[in-house]
């Protein structure tokens, strides 16, 4: 029979703790269930504080409400501290494409937008300015990835440029995109003229 049999049962009725960890704590506290329970709570509190940076009383409160489920406590703390967008960015710190996709899905989950594959421009009026800017730029980037940059230069570029200037203050990028469109259109005209002249010779 393992040591501290009755204490093990008592401790595990009090807290969601594994058998091995419970036995380690009881061994450390020489069978004192209350001391083992307190030590367990302190260890979880230390872990939550290290992962979130909150004060100990905050961590203790959320752990108690979550019945000392660390993952649930972390989720409730992050929901309290951060917006949904911030939580998504924290979840995908190195995968920018995934983060952008998740944020876009979150926005459209709250405010459904009519689509004909791509979002109808008029639908952006349902959103606030930051949301509309975000969705428009995501759509443009997705279009550029699917159709190529040259086609994207003629896909709502005037709206994209306006958002880059007004919302993001990315003036150089906006000017570069417009210059690229002008240059590409000029090249198309030149080649079309050359082909027409050649055909009439």
Residue 29: its pLDDT value, please? 93
Residue 194 has pLDDT above 80, yes or no: no
Residue 196: its pLDDT value, please? 61
Task: Please report, for residues 59, 150, 184, the alpha-carbon distance to residue 192 in angstroms, rounded to integers and kept in the order given.
Answer: 68, 16, 12
Contacts of residues 37-46 at CB distance under 8 Å and 24 or more positions apart, as own/partner, are 37/11, 40/11, 40/15, 40/68, 41/15, 41/68, 44/68, 44/70, 44/73
> 66-114: per-residue pLDDT in tens?
999 999 999 999 888 888 888 898 889 899 989 999 999 999 999 999 9
Model pTM score: 0.64
Torsion of CA 184, 187, 193, 195, to 10 degrees: -100
Question: For 151, what's the count of Cα atoms within 13 Å in the CB-facing half-sphere?
Answer: 9
H helix intervals, 66-201: 70-81, 84-91, 96-110, 129-147, 149-152, 157-166, 171-199
116 has which bridge partners? 118
Q: Identify the band that residue 195 occupies on the pLDDT scale cut at 50, 70 and 90.
A: low
> 3-14: per-residue pLDDT in tens?
788 999 999 999
> 163-193: per-residue pLDDT in tens?
999 999 999 999 999 999 999 999 988 887 7
């Amino acid at each position: 029979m393992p040591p501290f049999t009755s204490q093990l049962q008592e401790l595990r009725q009090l807290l969601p703790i594994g058998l091995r960890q419970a036995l380690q704590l009881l061994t450390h506290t020489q069978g004192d269930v209350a001391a083992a329970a307190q030590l367990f709570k302190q260890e979880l509190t230390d872990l939550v504080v290290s992962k979130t940076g909150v004060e100990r009383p905050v961590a203790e409160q959320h752990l108690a409400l979550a019945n000392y489920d660390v993952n649930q406590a972390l989720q409730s703390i992050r929901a309290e501290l951060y917006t949904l967008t911030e939580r998504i960015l924290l979840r995908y710190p190195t995968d920018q494409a995934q983060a952008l996709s998740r944020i876009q899905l979150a926005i459209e989950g709250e405010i459904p937008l009519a689509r004909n594959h791509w979002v109808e421009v008029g639908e952006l009026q349902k959103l606030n300015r930051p949301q509309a800017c975000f969705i428009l730029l995501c759509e443009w980037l997705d279009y550029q990835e699917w159709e190529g940059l040259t086609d994207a230069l003629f896909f709502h570029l005037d709206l994209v440029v306006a958002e880059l200037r007004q919302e993001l203050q990315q003036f150089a990028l906006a000017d570069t995109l417009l210059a690229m469109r002008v240059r590409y259109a000029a090249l198309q005209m030149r080649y079309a003229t050359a082909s027409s002249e050649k055909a009439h010779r």
